[in-house]
Amino acid sequence: MVKRQARGRQRISEILDAALALFAESGYDRTSTNAIAARAGMSPGSLYQYFPNKEAIADALSQRLLDELREAHAAAFDDTAVTELPLPDVVSRVVDPLVFFHVANPGAKVLIGERGQPLHAGVTDRVAGLLRARSPQLPDEDVRRSSTVAVQIVAALMGGIVAAPEPERAALVRELKKALAGYLAASDGL
């Protein structure tokens, strides 16, 4: 029984890995469950034993990526640390693992861009929590708006950052950090 469960978890992981790669290559809409099954080395019928459709695969993949992203940002979003560090250091602590995450998971941008909700909302909520910790006096609507804009700045630049070779990637990351720090510094109290 234990071996069967481990095999099932492995197959699910293979399906999600295949879906992530195909979403990055072809986009969500142009990726079929048949293509995912083929990339995962299984028949479509076997895939359907684990997931009823492509949406369920994307939902599970979004959850996995969100969990990985949360883990990557655990230290960056530590409320005590973010209140004590200078803003450029906080921005670096958030941006660096985010860039690493996107370089390691290029299909994540497709899920964020084309399907959006779970990953995007999770990141926006984490940024809002960070901003709230730094500036508890700001009205909630200002925190939410600043969080949304900051996430959109990152989203707008992330594709180019991921696609750029070094040393250009590092230069683009520096520019992103300057843009975010400048925007957030202009917000009241950040």
Domains of the chain: 2-52 (1.10.10.60), 61-186 (1.10.357)
Radius of gyration of the chain (CA): 19
More confident residue, 168 or 104: 168
pLDDT of residue 167 exceeding 60: yes
Tokens 């492509």 belong to which residue? 54
Which has the higher per-residue pLDDT, 44 or 109? 44
Percent of the chain past pLDDT 70, that is, above it, reads: 89
In this predicted structure, what is the pLDDT of residue 107? 76
Q: Identify the weakest region by mean pLDDT among 6-15, 27-36, 120-129, 164-173.
A: 120-129
Q: Is 80 exceeded by the pLDDT of residue 47?
A: yes
Q: Is 143:133 a contact under the CB 8 Å cutoff?
A: no
Q: In the structure encoding, which two tokens stand for residue 26, read together? A: 């072809």
Distance CA 120, CA 148 (A): 9
Place of tokens 């197959």: 11
Are the CB atoms for 115 and 62 separated by under 8 Å?
yes
Euclidean distance between CA atoms 50 and 108, whole angstroms: 21
Say what the pLDDT of residue 98 is: 85
Asked whether the predicted pLDDT for residue 116 surpasses 60, the reply is no
How far apart (Å, rounded) are the C-alpha atoms in residues 109 and 128? Answer: 20
Lowest mean pLDDT among 47-56, 97-106, 154-163: 97-106
pLDDT at 123: 77
- Rounded Cα distance between 74 and 156, Å, is 23
Per-chain mean pLDDT for the chain: 87
CA distance 160 to 25: 15
Mean local confidence (pLDDT), 57-81: 79
Contact between 86 and 184 (Cβ < 8 Å): no
pLDDT tens digits, 120-136: 677 788 889 889 988 89
Angle at 167 between CA 163 and CA 169, to 5 degrees: 35
What pTM value is reported for the model?
0.74
Question: How much is the pLDDT for 75?
Answer: 63
Closest CA relative to residue 107, chosen from 32, 39, 41, 16: 16
Please say if the pLDDT value at position 54 is more than 60.
yes
Q: Residue count of the chain, please give it.
A: 190
Residue 113 has pLDDT above 60, yes or no: no
Q: Cα separation of 87 and 134, whole Å?
A: 9
Query: Distance of CA 175 to CAs 33, 69, 164, Å?
Result: 39, 22, 13
